[in-house]
Amino acid sequence: MKAKKFLIALAAFFAVSANVSAQTPIILKVHSFSSPQAPEAVHHMLPLIDKIAKDSNGRLKLELYPSMQLGGKVSDLIQQVEDGVVDIVITIPGATPNRFPLLQATDLPFTNVGTSAGQTPAVLEWVQKWLMGNEFKGLKILHLHTTDAAVFHTTKKPLTTMADLKGMKIRVPGRFVGEAVKLLGGTPVGVALPEVYESLQRGQLDGMTINWAIMTPYKLQEVTKYHMETAFYQNPIMTLMSQASYDKLPADLKKVIDDNIGVAYSTGVAKKIDELTMPAKKAITEAGGTIYSLSPEEAAKWRTAVAPVYAMWVAEADKRGLPGQKMLDDLLERTAKYGRK
């Protein structure tokens, strides 16, 4: 009798344990370089967190750690996700240039559309064709959108000619934008986004290249005066998941993730990013900033001056055994298809 009661109690224990286990959510850590007020948090990750929790009935939860709260430098994010320290990261290609040298074709100067919604599907198509077996090995793309147009923002003078850039220290997001700034006469400086405000305020930088939408979340209109409207480039912002973390999920939770990502989803986020451009410009002018454009003649000179950067990128791809010129031509064709200006 005692043995029977013991077996019944044991079975009840395991039933309760199984039920508790079934209700315990799987938590995925998301580590981001940017602030919780940044567009990629407000219009992408925070809504995605809510949607995945809802669609999984609370069984799958994403925990966001913005502004590098889990430690390390922005350049460490990819290593963190590959080492399993975190499950998902939000980063930009230029933060780990040796890891994503080919992806940086997507922010080559003067090859862009100017809108996030226009550039994003072109970039995603191109990445899926050329880079999935290369730079994204071991990583699953949950989301990728390009910024709205990134332009020059300076503290003391407008840049009406290339001569105005001579000797100026300009914050850049990555290698090829930096090479372009050098060709235009400036001195590129790599500064993490959270440190840009203070660097501009202290005069350690004379300006930066950055997109419109990011200005107000970081209050950068307070420390810059002149803002060139002529689009320079667009920078991809990526949300990448460890393939190993994804593979560990049960099939139904994998489906929850897959049902909430893709080109249509990323393009939808991109449209919301574009809606931030005009309010950012309004905030800039209200703060006393001056928005101006290069003359068509001067813009043509700048385009000619940065042309060697394209050859640098092609050489990088060729060195890796890939058809560099063909890849670049394909990117430009896709960009043109979505309305390159």
Which spans in the chain are helix H? 2-23, 39-40, 46-55, 77-83, 116-130, 175-183, 193-201, 243-248, 251-259, 263-274, 277-286, 296-319, 324-337
For 3, other C-beta atoms within 10 Å of its C-beta total 7
Taking the model in full, what pTM does it have? 0.87
Question: Per-residue confidence of the chain (341 residues) as pLDDT tens digits?
Answer: 555 554 454 454 554 444 444 569 999 999 999 999 999 999 999 999 999 999 999 999 999 999 999 999 999 999 999 999 999 999 999 888 889 999 999 989 998 888 999 999 999 999 999 999 889 999 999 999 999 999 999 999 999 999 999 999 999 998 999 999 999 999 999 998 889 999 999 999 999 999 999 999 999 999 999 999 999 999 999 999 999 999 999 999 999 999 999 999 999 999 999 999 999 999 999 999 999 999 999 999 999 999 999 999 999 999 999 999 999 999 999 988 886 54
State phi, psi for 320 to the nearest 5 degrees: -95, 10
For tokens 């105005």, what's the residue? 164
The C-alpha atoms of residue 228 and residue 279 are separated, in whole angstroms, by 16
